[in-house]
Amino acid sequence: MPSFASYFPRISMPVLACALITSFAATAAVAQDTIRFGAPLPQTGPLAPEALKQQQGYDLWAEQVNKRGGIKVGDKKMKVEIVYTDYQSNTPRAVQAAEQLITQQKVNFLFSPFGSGAAKAASTVSEKYAVPTIASTASSSQVFDQGYKYLFGTFTPNDTLTTPLVKIVREKASGVKRVAILARNDLFPLAIAQDMEKAAKANGLEVVFFEKYAINTMDHSTSLSQMKAQSPHWIFATGYINDLVLIKKQMSDQKMEAPVVTMIAGPAYKEFISATGKSSENISSAAWWHPAASYKGVDIFGTPGNYSKLFQEKYKSEPDYAQASASVSGVLFQMAIEKAGSLDRTKVRDELARMNVMTFWGPVKFGPTGQIDSLEPPVLQIQNGKTLVVSPAAIKQADFKLSVK
């Protein structure tokens, strides 16, 4: 068998060894000057549109940080690297991806997989390895009721969306009495549907229909026919964007109308309007952020307006809450690391837990479970082909309208 040196006949062994050591040292130096963030995303499969939004938000934050030299850690600045892995819209694979990022890719910190269900499942991994993790798309309280110390979330609980919606409808449409609910049988969509049911009943509304549909359902015609037979005044549907586009198209096929039609969370995305066209008019929704907000943050983006400007320069489109939440997740890690002056995971975790700061996303303070409890999410409605804020008053852009009278 040829010797190692025979592959490099013109290089002496001492010189070769020195070159290799230098190469390894340079690689180590690069690694030490980089903070690695793991991001398991459903880049393929039915949740791919949501994954793209998250990736856009993370990448915009990383780009802006690195343009400024990186994150200040003690007396030096370190560049940001985001390590992505595709879990193919499959929750068990999301858990595996999170563990691989920690144990094999050696990331310093972690962003949760998309949605409440996958975030909850993967949180066991980050807790096991004591890795601070921020969930940018998890709102269900069931994600945060496990007593974990290393999980934080940028979405307020589901009832902070449903309660304002019910209040507005009660004030603006006293004739609305009968509510029909269609929910994707998945942690977040089902949980927010159940919160809607509670809020409706608490305000004297009658829930005349409540049906769950399976993940990957492609035909809602039977459920919609049953719903239509109940003559609801308010149709409330939950799911992710592909689900809700399909439901709206099949509602149109059956000529289904109601004075109030609400969908969470698809109508907050411009892609929903593009896919459904004029039939999206006056559909209401709710989310956790809108570019119309007027916060003045101390982070690298500063204001929603500046964030929107930078986003449009990079992606040629307006951002919605999904991209903004991903970006603010990076911002919060950045602030915690700089405050800790260290990459020590326990120190960074402690800084996240005591955080109380204003950002372009709004005021951020995590409650005792790790879920943010400091925001007032806006209620939205599609009017004239645009998603506008109808509440709260501070950032209101339009009055709430009925779909049909």
pLDDT at 176 over 60: yes
Neighbouring residues of 226: CB distance < 8 A, sequence distance ≥ 6: 209, 211
Q: Using one digit for the tens of pLDDT, what is the confidence trace for 211-267? A: 999 999 999 999 999 999 999 999 999 999 999 999 999 999 999 999 999 999 888
pLDDT in tens, 115-136: 999 999 999 999 999 999 999 9
Tens of pLDDT along 363-388? 999 999 999 999 999 999 999 999 99
**pLDDT exceeds 70 at position 32:** no
Residue 25 confidence (pLDDT): 34
Distance CA(388)–CA(376), nearest Å, equals 16
Which residues are CB-contacts of 33 (< 8 A; sequence separation ≥ 6)? 70, 76, 78, 79
Structure tokens at 63: 């780009």
Domain with CATH 3.40.50.2300 in the chain: 33-156+292-365, 159-287+379-395
Q: Does domain 159-287+379-395 have CATH number 3.40.50.2300?
A: yes
Report whether 131 contacts 102 (CB < 8 A). yes
Q: Measured between alpha carbons, how far is 156 from 192 in angstroms, rounded to an integer?
A: 12
Could you tell me the end-to-end alpha-carbon distance of the chain, in angstroms, rounded to an integer? Answer: 87
Return the CATH superfamily for domain 33-156+292-365: Response regulator (3.40.50.2300)
28 CB-near residues (< 8 Å, 6+ apart): none
What does pTM read for this prediction? 0.85
